[in-house]
Structure formats: C-alpha cells, structure tokens
C-alpha cells in the first residue's frame, strides 16, 4: 500500500511540474516572491511590486483553481492507474532434489530462498514509450519460494503494473542461485483481460556463470514484421546471443548454436590407429554438426580433442525422466560398462558361435556377468536395464539374457526362409533400398580401369531360368516385375580396403527379385563382386536358389553377405545419415535464425527434441573410432567414409519426402486417381501404404498451419528470419551441397509447406520406420547379420578350404556370421535403441501451448490428431487382411512400425515427433 501511495505522489508531482513547464506564468511566484526582503526598496517601488504581485496572484489563483480541480481528477485516476499482478514461476524439482547435488553453494542458495531473492523477474512491455520512442523501463521484482510439491516448486513475485505500461510481451529472468534451474512455466495473473502464459521448458543458468538474463517471450506468435515495437530489439538480441561469436570452448550451461565439421570421430591422442579423416569439405562432403570449440589434437591437427563432455546446447539435453529410465544412462551403461564386461566373458574377440544352439541360448540361458569386485556395476545394470540384466537365484548371480524378439517368437525359422528375406525389403527394417529395375543389362558406373568390367554377371539366361518361362527379362522390366537391392557401386571402392582389416571381408553386391502374381517378391539371384587386387583380376559370381545341397549352402552364405550389406547401409545411410545426421543442421539453423516467437519455430520445436543430444552420444560411443559401428558392422573403420560417399552421391533434400523417394526408386508414379496421388509398383508395400497416409496427414496439418500465418504469398518472401533460416540450412548446415541446383526455392506458402513437411516426415515417420524395429528384426542376428567375416567358399578356394566347406557347410555359415562378442554387443545396443522412453512424445499427441491459445491452429491440430487415430485403426485392419500377404500370414509379424502411438518399452510401433533415440 505504501508503495502505491508513494508511486501516486510521484506521478502527481510529475503532472504538476509538467503543467508548470507549459504554463505561461511560472508557479514559482506562488512559492518564492520576486524580492524576499522588500523593506529596503523605495516606497513607490514597493507599491508597484505589490500591485504587480496582486495582479499575478489574481491570474494564478484563477488558474490554480482550475489546476487543482484537474489534479483532483488526476488523483482519482491515479489511484486506479496500476494493476497488482502476481507472477508465479513453476520450477521443476530435479530427481536428486531441487539442484543437482548438495554442496556449499546449495546452502547459500537456501539462504537466498529464505530472504526471498531466488529469481529476479523483469516484465517487458510490448510497446515503446509514446514520448521518447524507446523501450519502456522494465518492471522488476524478486520471486520468493512458496509452495513445493513432489515434482515442482512455485516462486511468486508481485508487481504494480501501470495501466499505460502496455501488454507484457516478455519476461527477463535472472537466477540468483549458484545452480541452474529448470523453469517450466511463468504465469502473470491479475490483468483484467486475463492471465498471460509463458511456456518456458528451459534451463536457466546461474547469474554467477553468465550475467546475461534469460528471455522468455509470451506464447503468442509473431512474424518478424509483425513483432510489437517494444520487443523488436529484444527479439534480435536473443537470436544474436544464441548464435554466439564462434570463439572459445563451449560450456555445459550455454545455449549457443554453431556449426562445425565431423572432426571428432577419431581419437589420435589415444592411438594413431584411431585416427580418422574429418568429414565435411570437398574431399569428404558431409552435413555439419554442432560446434563444441574444443582444442585440436596434438597428434593430428585436423582432429578435435575428445577430452571433456560432448557439448550440446543446454536445452537440447535429455530430460531427467529420459536420463533416469533408459536413454543416456542406459545406453552409456551398455557402451561403457556392459560391453567391457562382455569382453571379459568372451575373451577371444573373433570367437564364432559353434552351433545354432549357442545362439538360441542367449535367449534361454544367458551369459554370466563377471564376478563381483570393488568396481562391480551389476546391481546398477540390473536396475537400469531389467530387460537385459536379470538376477538369478543361486550361484549365478546376475546374467545378461536377451528377450526373444517377436519375429523369432512367432516363427523360430523365420530368418531361414527366402520368402521372408524378400518380404522384409518392403515390410522390414530397411524398406528404403528396394528399387525397380529399369535398364538391362545391369552395368556399374564405376571406372572399369580401376574396378574391372562394368557389365553384371547376372545375365538374361539366368533370370529367364529363374522365372520359369513365365516371361522374358525384357517383358518383366516392361511390366515392372523386376526389383533390386543394389550395393554394388557404393561398396566396391572399399572392398580392398576393408579386406586388409582383421576378421573382415566385403563385396559389392546386387540382389534381384521378381514380383509374383499374388504381390509378394521372390529372390532370383545374388551377385557378389570383388574388384581387381594385387596379382588378381576382378572376381564375380552369381548365386541362385537351388535344389542341390552345395548350391543351397552357397546361396545361404551369399544371403548372409547381402544382409550384412543391407544392415550396414541401413545403419549408416537410411538411419544415421538420412535422419540423425542431416537433421542436426535444421536444429541449429532454427535456433539461430527463427525467434522463439516465430510460428515456424513453434511448429518445428517438437520435432527436434533431444536430437542433438542423441547425436552427440553417437559421436561419443557409437560411430566413433572403434565404437560399436566400426567394431561390429561390415565396413569397419571405413563406415563413416561410406556414409559420406552416400551423402555425396545420393542425398538430395528434394528427394527426401516420401512421395519423392518412392518415385526416385521407381516404386511409384504420379497418378491423380490413385490413393495419395501415387500408384505403387508393388501394391502391397506396407511401408509405403502406411507411410503415405502419415505423409498426407503431416502435409495437411502443415498446410493449415502455414496458410494461417502466411495469408498472403508475399509474406513468405518478405519474412527475413525465414529466408535467413533456409539460406543458412543450405549454405552452412549443408555447405558441401550449397551450390546444387535442386534445392527448393522458398518464395511462396506452397514452397514452405513442402520444405516443412519433408523435415517433419524425416524426423518422425522416416526415423520411426528404420529405428524402432531394430530389435524385432535384428535381435536374432542371423536374420540381419551386421557383418560377414569370411569370404564365400567359392571365391578362389584352396583345396583344403573347399573340403572343409563340403564337410561342414553349417560351420562355414556360423564363421561368416558375427563373432560372439560382436553379436552380443550389437544385440544389447539394438535393444536400447528400440526402446520408447516413458516421456516419449508421439506425433499428434501433445498440443503445444501456443497452438492451444489460437482457435484456428487448435482446430487444425485436432483434425491432425483425428487423422492419426484413423491411421491406427487402418493399420490394424490391413494387418488382419489375409489378402495382404506381405503383412499377414503364418508366423509373420504384423507391420506396425508406423502406428502413431505406443506404450513405453520395446513395442515395434509408435512414431515419436522427433529423433530422440
């Protein structure tokens, strides 16, 4: 109350001074006579002064009566010229308490709370001062700790907001504690027109780490040109802060987004054997990652040191729920604790499985973990990975025992069947590589001087024999009956390099399939090729299904090689490159160029959640030198180089939408009369059928959203933030492809809809289709071996090698499969990567606060959600349709990878908004 009175008095005094300054006669005559002691003046002069004074007083009294009347009215108004507003800040309590750990600083922070100075809040007006034309002075107040619940604590501040302050457009927050705090929301309550909401969901650093105040804008969206005048400078300053200055090593509490090349995959400081060439640049094109600013290696100036944490901007880190369930800690536990334990159990690195029974025992008996010692982590592993690490009564203690994948649970011999091998190309883990054969004979595009004759060994005679006289090769191509997995040209340049590595071999491969009348695929032929090497010419051979035992076993081993190629390409290209890797530049550019107030930022934000964190973890322990990918997948230390080669040769943004991808591979053609505007080459193509419905739902949602904010086509081209965002994605995030002519233009709402739909599809549908079935299809590794370690027996065999194969062909296949250490290592990782977190956000499930506050956007999102519910039911109907033989049949796992929603855990379904694992 006293503050209000003081404030009103101050305003009244300002009014009086203002009126005095603009009056024809100074008010000072009322307070201070012209002559303070007039007794010394002559009588005539004193009388003259008195007469003049009387005249002035008569005038001023008249004016003063009017002024007093006016001031009385002003005082009445002043009494009601402010509004008392309560600011409520909701802070999430960390799982280990309000702060991460108890320290001396914690005690100081408790005292800070006690004195009611926990957070300094400043309210920012959306309007400029009407007289000065400058930003209005902010209204400040300290927030003190009040109500504390199990998951959050409230901090409350009181403000006296003048009626002429204007709408509150932002809140500045200064954290007075020594530790960061996670702000969930800020609510300003008390305004006549209703409360103002700020959805923060962000970490606020301590002022002792960084004195710069955090900015939180209200949930309202504004295009740059529509930004309220009082927020324009703040909007630009906040973007500038997020970009940083490109100098120095990043700190864990910072929120700075910048670009760098992939020069931290190797670890030459630990060993020169772990040196890897940088990815990004003319020689090895690659998307950019987030800059960490770590110093360069002493052993290799081109590489960045791997010392210290892998920085990601603070708000990109996993939530505590995700950290404490499976994600970071579980995956790190697998990589840093469990895998070394496996190395102690399986002492021989290259030891193969002796019998298929040994493979089956991983699911029934398991592996004993090492005996307990002072560094034992089994109790921790058992708590955090109950699916993998189990407590067994008796002497065995804890064991690593895998859950039986659903594929094997339904049909123990599913992996052995040729029809399942073919079916999984359209309804399995990697449905992105099957393509239509359009030219014959097949030819390589590689230089024959280096790689040998370009013509394929798969001839018309071989194919005509396999399709049993039903039609000729030419007719099969004409009628779109011939399909292929082609890993020939992408792998052949690395064959001789990989073969120099211990326990590894490689081929270039082609696999042909024929489309049966009932809509299923039948494998016809596999071609394996080795390029010329020292003292040897090119070697190639074609393998076909056969009724003779020797040919049958060669066919099975050839299939193992092709599956290893498919597994490697799936992990390195279909999965890592085309989702994780290419998306990181989108995340960086969005935070650098699109304000949090920008509607496109609000649209994309859910689709970027946790992506930079999981990518950093991949660089740390999955795709790094001697990591899981290099150790257990076919290309070995050249894995990321092959990923770079695929980026250079194949990746195009304009072909990453699902319709464009299907058309590029010849799997569909445009047809305005067909469902989704496309006619599929294989009508029963589960991934494409479900995916196109999801694609259409995404595009319709994006169309509604974009058209709401860009009602005029010219608004897209005049949006300076949007144009800077798209330019930066092309020229910085994908700098090695910045001059390609195929980049879409961004001039109209239609252009924007296409770009945004592609990005959202890649982060949701595309990623879900290639990720969450990893354990279902790869958990029993003979179905998808990640590596083929031995050459096929018919490649230049010695007499002894051939005799061993003839005597024990099963042993030859088991030796070709991954070793015991490689298999168990990959199985453990795939189990984690296939798991949904309890805090997973599925596409169409959660409405963002800014969408809920806009009736048009809210209605559009609800329509989007209804379409996804319809897709859920449609997928169930399709899986029950016996005529759809690629998703229904004896022992066949239903195709559910694009069902939008899922419960937590390994389910083989669910489409999260983002690439979060």
pLDDT of residue 842: 97
pLDDT higher than 90, residue 490: yes
Task: Give residue 891's Cα distance to chain centre.
Answer: 34
Cα–Cα separations (whole angstroms), residue 745 to 385, 587, 592, 699, 742: 47, 20, 20, 18, 9
Cα–Cα separations (whole angstroms), residue 393 to 366, 390, 396: 14, 10, 7
Contacts of 417 (CB under 8 A, 6+ apart): none
Lowest average pLDDT, out of 30-39, 218-227, 880-889, goes to 30-39
Q: Which residues are catalytic?
A: 575, 580, 767, 771, 917
Task: Grade residue 621 by pLDDT with cuts at 50, 70 and 90.
Answer: confident
- One DSSP character per residue, 817-883 reads SPPHHHHHHHHHHHHHHTEEPTT--BTTT---HHHHTSHHHHHHHHHHHHHHHHHHHHHHHHHT-TT
Task: Grade residue 341 by pLDDT with cuts at 50, 70 and 90.
Answer: confident
Query: Which residue's structure tokens are 């049949």?
Result: 889
Q: Tell me the mean pLDDT in the region 775-792.
A: 97
Gap between the Cα atoms of 868 and 457, Å rounded: 46
pLDDT over 90, % of the chain: 77
pLDDT of residue 678: 97
User: What's the pLDDT tens digit per position in 741-756?
Assistant: 999 999 999 999 999 9
Task: Grade residue 312 by pLDDT with cuts at 50, 70 and 90.
Answer: very high
pLDDT of residue 389: 80
* Comparison of pLDDT for 729 and 150, the residue scoring more: 729
pLDDT of residue 330: 67
Number of H helices, E strands in the chain: 35, 22
pLDDT higher than 60, residue 42: no
pLDDT higher than 60, residue 863: yes
pLDDT of residue 108: 56
Gap between the Cα atoms of 739 and 906, Å rounded: 42
pLDDT higher than 70, residue 395: no
Gap between the Cα atoms of 819 and 532, Å rounded: 28
- One DSSP character per residue, 410-475 reads H-TTGGG-HHHHHHHHHHSS-TTS-EE--SSS-B--S-HHHH---B-S--HHHHHHHTTTSS-HHH
pLDDT of residue 109: 59
Lowest average pLDDT, out of 110-114, 624-628, 803-807, goes to 110-114
Please give, one letter per residue, the 3-state secondary structure of 810-829.
HHHHHHHCCCHHHHHHHHHH
Give the tokens for residue 172: 């500045």
User: What's the pLDDT tens digit per position in 201-241?
Assistant: 999 999 999 999 999 999 999 999 999 999 999 999 999 99
pLDDT higher than 90, residue 97: no
CB neighbours of residue 377 within 10 Å: 18
- One DSSP character per residue, 231-269 reads GHHHHHHHHHHHH--S-SPPPTT-----EE-B--S--TT
Task: Grade residue 110 by pLDDT with cuts at 50, 70 and 90.
Answer: low
Q: Judge contact between 320 and 607, C-beta under 8 A.
A: no
* Comparison of pLDDT for 344 and 611, the residue scoring more: 611
By the 10 Å C-beta count (0-12 exposed, 13-18 middle, 19+ buried), 209 is classed as middle
Q: Tell me the mean pLDDT in the region 75-90.
A: 76
What's the chain's average pLDDT? 88
Q: Judge contact between 886 and 519, C-beta under 8 A.
A: yes
pLDDT of residue 839: 85
User: What's the pLDDT tens digit per position in 641-657?
Assistant: 999 999 999 999 999 99
Gap between the Cα atoms of 563 and 777, Å rounded: 12
Helix, strand or coil, per DSSP, at residue 146: strand
Gap between the Cα atoms of 227 and 237, Å rounded: 14
Q: How many CA atoms lie within 13 A of 615 on its CB side?
A: 31
Q: Judge contact between 504 and 495, C-beta under 8 A.
A: no
* Comparison of pLDDT for 453 and 63, the residue scoring more: 453
Q: Judge contact between 762 and 578, C-beta under 8 A.
A: yes
User: What's the pLDDT tens digit per position in 771-783?
Assistant: 999 999 999 999 9
Q: Tell me the mean pLDDT in the region 492-504.
A: 96
Task: Grade residue 501 by pLDDT with cuts at 50, 70 and 90.
Answer: very high
* Comparison of pLDDT for 338 and 37, the residue scoring more: 338
Give the tokens for residue 581: 């890797």
User: What's the pLDDT tens digit per position in 358-388?
Assistant: 999 999 998 887 755 445 544 566 766 778 8
Gap between the Cα atoms of 235 and 222, Å rounded: 11
pLDDT higher than 60, residue 3: no
Q: Which residues pair with 906 in a beta bridge?
A: 835
Q: Closest Cα to residue 662, out of 840, 483, 513? A: 483
* Comparison of pLDDT for 422 and 44, the residue scoring more: 422
């Amino acid at each position: 109350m006293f503050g209000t009175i003081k404030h009103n008095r101050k305003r009244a005094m300002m009014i009086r001074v203002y009126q005095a300054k603009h009056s024809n006669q100074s008010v000072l005559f009322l307070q201070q006579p012209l002559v303070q002691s007039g007794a010394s003046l002559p009588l005539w002069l004193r009388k003259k002064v008195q007469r003049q004074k009387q005249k002035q007083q008569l005038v001023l009294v008249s004016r003063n009566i009017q002024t007093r009347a006016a001031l009385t009215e002003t005082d009445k108004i002043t009494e009601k010229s402010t509004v008392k507003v309560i600011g409520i800040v909701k802070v999430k309590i960390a799982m280990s308490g309000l702060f991460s750990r108890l320290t001396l600083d914690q005690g100081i922070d408790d005292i800070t709370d006690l004195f009611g100075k926990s957070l300094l809040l400043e309210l920012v007006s959306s309007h400029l001062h009407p007289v000065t034309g400058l930003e209005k002075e902010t209204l400040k107040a300290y927030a003190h700790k009040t109500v504390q619940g199990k998951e959050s604590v409230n901090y409350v501040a009181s403000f006296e907001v003048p009626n002429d302050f204007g709408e509150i457009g932002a809140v500045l927050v200064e954290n007075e504690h020594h530790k960061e705090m996670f702000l969930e929301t800020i609510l300003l309550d008390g305004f006549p027109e209703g409360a103002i909401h700020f959805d923060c969901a962000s970490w606020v650093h301590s002022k002792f780490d960084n004195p710069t105040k955090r900015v939180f804008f209200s949930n309202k969206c504004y295009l740059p040109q529509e930004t309220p005048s009082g927020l324009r400078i703040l909007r630009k300053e906040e973007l500038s802060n997020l970009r940083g200055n490109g100098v120095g090593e990043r700190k864990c509490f910072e929120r700075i987004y910048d670009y760098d090349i992939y020069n931290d995959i190797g670890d030459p400081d630990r060993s020169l054997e772990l040196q890897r060439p940088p990815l990004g640049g003319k020689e090895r094109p690659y998307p950019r990652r987030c800059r960490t600013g770590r110093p360069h290696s002493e052993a290799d100036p081109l590489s960045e040191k791997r010392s210290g944490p892998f920085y990601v901007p603070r708000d990109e880190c996993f939530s505590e729920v995700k950290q404490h369930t499976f994600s970071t800690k579980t995956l790190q536990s697998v990589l840093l604790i469990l895998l070394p334990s496996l190395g102690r159990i399986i002492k021989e690195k290259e030891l193969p499985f002796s019998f298929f029974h040994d493979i089956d025992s991983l699911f029934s008996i398991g592996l004993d973990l090492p005996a307990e010692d002072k560094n034992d982590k089994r109790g921790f592993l058992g708590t955090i990975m109950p699916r993998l690490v189990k407590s067994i009564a008796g002497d065995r203690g804890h064991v690593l025992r895998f859950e039986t994948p659903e594929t094997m649970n339904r049909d123990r011999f599913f992996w052995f069947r040729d029809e399942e091998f073919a079916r999984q190309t359209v309804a399995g883990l990697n449905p992105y590589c099957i393509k239509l054969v359009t030219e014959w004979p097949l030819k390589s595009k590689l230089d024959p001087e280096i790689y040998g004759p370009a013509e394929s060994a798969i001839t018309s005679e071989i194919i005509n024999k396999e399709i049993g006289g039903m039609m000729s090769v030419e007719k099969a191509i004409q009628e779109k009956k011939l399909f292929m997995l082609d890993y020939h040209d992408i792998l052949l340049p690395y064959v001789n390099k990989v073969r120099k590595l211990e326990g590894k071999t490689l081929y270039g491969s082609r696999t042909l399939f024929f489309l049966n009348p009932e809509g299923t695929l039948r494998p016809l032929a596999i071609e394996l090729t080795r390029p010329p090497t020292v003292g040897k010419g090119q070697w190639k051979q074609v393998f076909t299904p056969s009724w003779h035992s020797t040919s049958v076993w060669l066919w099975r081993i050839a299939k193992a090689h092709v599956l290893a190629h498919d597994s490697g390409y799936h992990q390195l290209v279909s999965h890592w490159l085309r989702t994780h890797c290419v998306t990181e530049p989108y995340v960086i550019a969005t935070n650098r160029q699109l304000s949090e107030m920008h509607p496109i930022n609000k649209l994309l934000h859910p689709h970027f959640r946790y992506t930079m964190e999981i990518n950093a973890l991949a660089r740390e322990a999955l795709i790094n030198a001697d990591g899981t990918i290099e150790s257990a997948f076919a290309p070995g230390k050249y894995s990321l180089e092959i990923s770079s080669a695929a980026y250079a040769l194949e990746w195009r943004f304009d072909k990453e939408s699902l319709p464009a991808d299907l058309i590029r591979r010849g799997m569909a053609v445009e047809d305005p009369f067909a469902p989704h505007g496309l006619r599929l080459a294989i009508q029963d193509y589960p991934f494409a059928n479900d995916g196109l419905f999801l694609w259409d739902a995404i595009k319709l949602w994006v169309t509604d959203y974009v058209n709401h904010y860009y009602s005029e086509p010219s608004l897209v081209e005049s949006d300076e933030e949007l144009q800077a965002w798209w330019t930066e994605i092309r020229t910085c995030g994908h700098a090695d492809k910045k001059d390609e002519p195929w980049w879409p233009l961004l001039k109209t709402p239609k252009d924007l809809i296409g770009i945004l739909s592609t990005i959202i599809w890649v982060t949701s549908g595309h990623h879900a289709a290639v990720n969450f079935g990893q354990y279902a299809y790869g958990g029993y590794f003979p179905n998808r071996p990640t590596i083929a370690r031995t050459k096929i027996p018919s490649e230049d065999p010695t007499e002894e090698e051939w005799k061993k194969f003839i005597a024990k062909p099963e042993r030859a296949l088991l030796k070709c499969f991954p070793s015991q250490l490689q298999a168990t290592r990959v199985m453990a990782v795939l189990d984690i990567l296939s798991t949904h977190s309890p805090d997973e956000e599925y596409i169409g499930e959660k409405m963002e606060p800014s969408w809920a506050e806009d009736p048009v956007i809210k209605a559009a999102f609800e329509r989007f959600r209804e379409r996804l519910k319809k897709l859920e039911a449609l997928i169930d109907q399709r899986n029950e349709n016996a005529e759809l033989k690629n998703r229904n049949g004896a022992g066949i796992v239903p195709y559910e990878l694009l069902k939008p929603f899922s419960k937590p855990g390994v389910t083989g379904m669910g489409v999260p908004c983002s690439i979060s694992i």
